[in-house]
Amino acid sequence: MGQNYTFEVGERMDNFRFYVPTDVRFGKDRLEEELTDVLDAYGKTVLLAYGGGSIKKNGLYDQITKLLEANGNTVVELSGIEPNPRTETVDRGVALCREHQVDVILAVGGGSTIDCAKVVAAGFYFDQSAWDLVLARRTFAGPALPLVTVLTLAATGSEMNSGAVISNLATNQKLGVGAASMIPKASFLDPQNTFTVPQYQTAAGSADILSHLFENYFKVTEGTDVQDGIAEGLMKTVIKNCPIALKTPDDYDARANLMWASSLALNGLTGGGKGGAWSCHPMEHELSAFYDITHGVGLAILTPRWMEYILSDTTVGKFQQFAHNVWGITETDPFTAAKKGIQATYDFFKACGIPMTLPEVGIDEEKLEIMAEQAVKHSTIEKAAYVPLTAADVTNIYQECLTESSFI
């Protein structure tokens, strides 16, 4: 990997389990030949879960319902799954599955649809409400109905992981839950299904992929060349291909690379062996919980400010490595290189058309402190993050997001 960088914090690579049994069917036009075979392994009664209607506009709904009809499936629909899916929608899905004794769930959409479907799948066997299941967080270990996905937006990695994030707007909570039983059995990843993703969501999804990579890359663990080298390659892939997809939405290679990067960024490949808490996600989930904003946009706003806030003698080596290997910055002075890398990250998000201040997404000073307290309460950011953050630190980072920034 060329140059050596000095890290002053660190533990060696942790033990880890890499268990990703999802049968990935990547590429063009595979549904016609393969979808019903995959579903038939689990049964004939299918819950078709989808969002607010994008799949009706782009023809995917018609294509899939025709295939299921020709195959003699009984189809029950859970429609209208919201971006930042609501716990009430999960309850509605669970009720449908019980009423119709569903055998398998087919989720067609982005991360919100897939996340909702995961918790519906587990909720089927769970005798309390969906929200009680979410409150179990990562300790949940119950069974789930089999889930098959058709991904339509490159962003979350939900198509190939065990996690789901559900919102409860009544309590201003947005929390993650996950279990091995919720990992999709199969996922169809056809880049053509992302050609219709609007620019704003393409940019937000790319920011989310990058954030998953950053969250794993900036950890105290040392000696993780495999994970960090893969992460750098995936970061460069997103940085190269997002602008192409923004300019030419039907560029197959750009969409294909973003799609596969989405899955690999959060399936354990770059995070296995690197313990500790994430930083920007807990802070972002509060912005979404209180203001229902787009997840990737919140992450893009927070990330460069967080990077600058935690830059210190202890962390500068890793930021220098990031600047050199990801952004191609040749500056040799560690702090100058690090700051140029942070500036490049900010400029990239801005050039992708992402609003880079909180007021632009409707967030002012009013709730910053309460959101900061909740971010600390709902995570281990205060104890186990790359650089541990108190509620006061989180408030400071939010405040930096109120106006435009310059890092050099």
In angstroms, what CA-CA distances link 72 with 39, 54, 65? 12, 25, 11
* 321 counts as binding ligand NZQ under rule CB under 6 A: no
148: how many CB neighbours lie within 10 A of its CB? 24
Taking the C-alpha atoms of residue 61 and residue 56, their distance in angstroms, rounded to an integer, is: 5
* 87 counts as binding ligand NZQ under rule CB under 6 A: no
* 185 counts as binding ligand NZQ under rule CB under 6 A: no
Nearer to ligand NZQ, 50 or 407 (CB): 50
* 271 counts as binding ligand NZQ under rule CB under 6 A: no
Residue 395 CB, nearest approach to Zn ion (Å):
22
End-to-end CA distance of the chain: 26
- Nearest residue to Zn ion by CB is 208
**Burial category of 96 from C-beta neighbours within 10 Å (exposed 0-12, middle 13-18, buried 19 and up):** middle
Residue 81 CB, nearest approach to ligand NZQ (Å):
7
Contact 86, 168 (CB under 8 A): yes
Taking the C-alpha atoms of residue 116 and residue 174, their distance in angstroms, rounded to an integer, is: 13
Three-class DSSP category at 128: coil
Residues 120-179 that bind ligand NZQ (CB under 6 A): 152-153, 155-158, 161, 163-165
Q: Which of 93, 109, 276, 304: binder of ligand NZQ (CB under 6 A)?
A: 109
Q: Which of 115, 208, 228, 400: binder of Zn ion (CB under 5 A)?
A: 208
Site track for ligand NZQ across 188-227, x = CB under 6 A: -----xx-xx---x---x--x-------------------
Contact 114, 149 (CB under 8 A): yes
Contact 284, 299 (CB under 8 A): yes
Residues 6+ apart with CB under 8 A from 37: none
Q: CB under 6 A: which stretch of 40-48, 104-112, 248-256, 378-386 binds ligand NZQ?
A: 104-112
By a kind-dependent CB cut-off of 5 to 8 A, residue 142 interacts, out of Zn ion, ligand NZQ, none, with: none
Q: Which of 27, 43, 52, 233: binder of ligand NZQ (CB under 6 A)?
A: 52
* Single-letter code of the amino acid located at 123: G
- Nearest residue to ligand NZQ by CB is 51
Taking the C-alpha atoms of residue 168 and residue 134, their distance in angstroms, rounded to an integer, is: 10
Contacts to ligand NZQ by CB under 6 A? 51-55, 58, 83-84, 109-113, 115, 152-153, 155-158, 161, 163-165, 193-194, 196-197, 201, 205, 208, 266, 281, 295-296
